[in-house]
Amino acid sequence: MIKLVDIHKSFGKQKVLNGLNLEIEDGKTTVIIGRSGGGKSVLLKHIIGLMRPDSGQVLVDGVDMTKLNDKELNEIRKKFGMLFQEAALFDSMNVGENVAFPLREHAKIKEKEIWEIVADRLRAVGLTGVEEKMPSELSGGMRKRVGLARAIALHPQIVLFDEPTTGLDPIMAEAINQLIIETQQNFNLTCVVISHDIQSIFRIGHKIAMLYEGDIIAYGTSEEIRASDNPVIVQFLAGSIEGPIRIM
Amino acid sequence: MRLLAAIFDSLGKSVLHAVEEMGRIILLFLSVLSWMVRPPWRLRNIFKQMEFVGVRSIFVVVLTGMFTGMVMALQGYHGFRMFSAESMVGSAVALGMTRELGPVLTSLMVTARAGSAMAAELGTMKVTEQIDALYVMAANPVQYLIVPRVIAGVIMVPFLTVISDFVGILGGYFVGVQILNINSGIFIKNITKMVELNDIYNGLIKAACFGLILSLVGCYKGFNTSGGAEGVGRATTEAVVLASITILISDYFLTALMF
């Protein structure tokens, strides 16, 4: 289980996370929603130890990520996969080598087995025969699929998604949503998705958390969030200009 | 009075920034040293970088070295002729190349070609989250990206300097003997008489230091890039300027120590 306890994080004078608390359940998809620039990515980077909080604890299976040294952090990161917003595929490697990368780094298996897993993971995201292509030859949707194949290559317990449908057309966005649902079920993953795509969040999220002014102001199932009368959530879901969320 | 205060304020800030940056580069160097001795040793990455930094720089280094040797012979000839010592041209070219111009010009050319590319490549990786992806996949970016580049810089710049020294002297020989009619035997004898092995060794030690500087600065600037495409451009320019200045300044101190 991932548990964030009283997380504070500031950049200069700007407070981004302000005493944030959140528990993420195992084997479920939790979607964190909130405004662009509201600290969602910062929160995700805290979960995987890319950023350290000014104060507070990030507990992954009871281990406080904020207290670990580089070596210990690397060990615990093997439990994670992450799909970045722009997929973050290595430009210098082809698709196959990208997916094979975590396997080559950490799985002590033969080259033949590596390529079998690569083909299997690419098949799982609906791609076949693209191993030789370079990332620059792929469309946005394909890049994200390859990114997901790489994220699940080592069969992680937890996969983090940074705005997986941003920049995609509605059909491709739906395809990615479907893929997240299938992958979560097939690999029994704990998924943490950050998004502000209203259609997607209710489609994929078992639990939804709303981040506002550095804290989680609501947490619940899709139905609970939809039924919420909190003016911030109502305004956010309606995409209205009028309301407590101010446009800067 | 206010203007004076503003000038001192800005001067102080620049000095503080420079000291802070130097400290960060030294910290990166220590990190490189500590990751260098830990497995896995990424030989494939190291050889790839050695090819990029070394083999692909040969053409530009040969061209620079040869014309530098040639122009030194030409200039030296006119100088030495004033007191009838034309035969010293060979040793002047050889000493100049091995002690100074070989290592300095080679490393400046490699800075422009490979140091800038290091900053641009790592900078692009930084702004497209590829470096974060390495962290997430539990692969340390210092070990994966920077260590191979620094090793390649330290090993290949001295090799390129040897080539530069050689073709520089060859260029000097061509101009001195073939064009300016200096006696070939005297030209070569003066070189062997005046140039000691120490001159060559010290030049190569300098080259290794410059290789370290250019790769470390290139990687540091790339690794700390922010702000999209503009940031990558800025990091690349800053890497070339900072590495070139550091090479020229450290050249003075290394020379003072060695010769």
Domain spans of chain B? Answer: 41-258
Determine, for residues A82 and B133 on separate chains, whether the beta-carbon distance falls below 8 Å: yes
**Residue A190: pLDDT over 80:** yes
- pLDDT number for residue A233: 84
Mean pLDDT of chain B: 93
Shortest CA distance from A75: residue in chain B: B138
| Residue B31 sits at the chain A interface (C-beta within 8 Å) | no
Shortest CA distance from B126: residue in chain A: A88
ipTM of the complex: 0.88
| Residue B124 sits at the chain A interface (C-beta within 8 Å) | yes
- The total of other beta-carbon atoms located within 10 Å of residue B82's CB is 8
**Residue A243: pLDDT over 90:** no
Q: For the residues A193-213, what does the mean pLDDT come to?
A: 88
Q: For the residues A33-58, what does the mean pLDDT come to?
A: 89
Q: For the residues B102-129, what does the mean pLDDT come to?
A: 95
- Entry pTM: 0.87
Pairing of β A63-64 and β A190-195: unpaired
Q: For the residues A150-171, what does the mean pLDDT come to?
A: 88
CA-CA-CA-CA torsion for A177, A183, A184, A185, nearest 10 degrees?
110
**Residue A140: pLDDT over 90:** no
- pLDDT number for residue A107: 84
Stretch (H or E) spanning A16? strand A14-24
Task: Please give, rounded to a whole number of angstroms, the shortest distance from the CA of B137 to a CA of chain A.
Answer: 6
Q: For the residues A216-221, what does the mean pLDDT come to?
A: 89
- pLDDT number for residue A231: 84
**Residue B259: pLDDT over 80:** no
| Residue B128 sits at the chain A interface (C-beta within 8 Å) | yes
Q: For the residues A24-39, what does the mean pLDDT come to?
A: 88
pLDDT bin (cut points 50, 70, 90) of residue A167 is confident
Chain B positions touching A101 (Cβ under 8 A) are 137, 139
Determine, for residues A88 and B132 on separate chains, whether the beta-carbon distance falls below 8 Å: yes
pLDDT bin (cut points 50, 70, 90) of residue A146 is very high
**Residue B88: pLDDT over 90:** no
Mean pLDDT of chain A: 88
**Residue B124: pLDDT over 90:** yes
**Residue A246: pLDDT over 80:** no
Chain B positions touching A82 (Cβ under 8 A) are 133, 136
Q: Which of residues 139-198 of B touch A (CB under 8 A)?
A: 139-140
- Residue B251, phi then psi, degrees to nearest 5: -60, -40
- pLDDT number for residue B145: 94
Amino acid, single-letter form, for residue B156 = M
Contact between A168 and A156 under an 8 Å Cβ cutoff? The reply is no
- pLDDT number for residue A248: 62
The residue ranking higher by pLDDT, A243 or B91, is B91
pLDDT bin (cut points 50, 70, 90) of residue B58 is very high
Q: B141-179 pLDDT, tens per residue?
A: 999 999 999 999 999 999 999 999 999 999 999 999 999
Residue in A84, A90, A102 closest to B132 by CB:
A84
Q: For the residues B44-50, what does the mean pLDDT come to?
A: 93
**Residue B60: pLDDT over 80:** yes
pLDDT over 70 percentage in chain A: 99
Interface mutation target, options A45, A46, A70, A76, chain B, most CBs of B under 10 Å: A70
Distance CA B130, CA B127 (A): 8
Shortest CA distance from A90: residue in chain B: B130
Chain A positions touching B133 (Cβ under 8 A) are 82, 84, 88, 90
**Residue A145: pLDDT over 80:** yes
How far from the centroid of its chain's Cα atoms is residue B14's Cα?
A: 25
The residue ranking higher by pLDDT, A110 or A241, is A110
Determine, for residues B136 and A89 on separate chains, whether the beta-carbon distance falls below 8 Å: no
What is the number of CB-based contacts under 8 A between chain A and chain B?
47
Q: For the residues B185-195, what does the mean pLDDT come to?
A: 90
Q: For the residues A214-231, what does the mean pLDDT come to?
A: 87
Task: Please give, rounded to a whole number of angstroms, the shortest distance from the CA of A48 to a CA of chain B.
Answer: 7
Enumerate the β-bridge partners of residue A18: A8
Chain B positions touching A89 (Cβ under 8 A) are 130
Helices B116-127 and B197-223: angle between axes, nearest 10 degrees: 20
Q: A97-116 pLDDT, tens per residue?
A: 999 999 998 888 898 999 99
Dihedral sign of CA atoms B29, A51, A14, A86 in order: positive
Chain A positions touching B128 (Cβ under 8 A) are 86, 88, 91
- CB-based contacts of A181, cutoff 8 Å, min separation 6: A29, A203, A204
Determine, for residues B138 and A106 on separate chains, whether the beta-carbon distance falls below 8 Å: yes
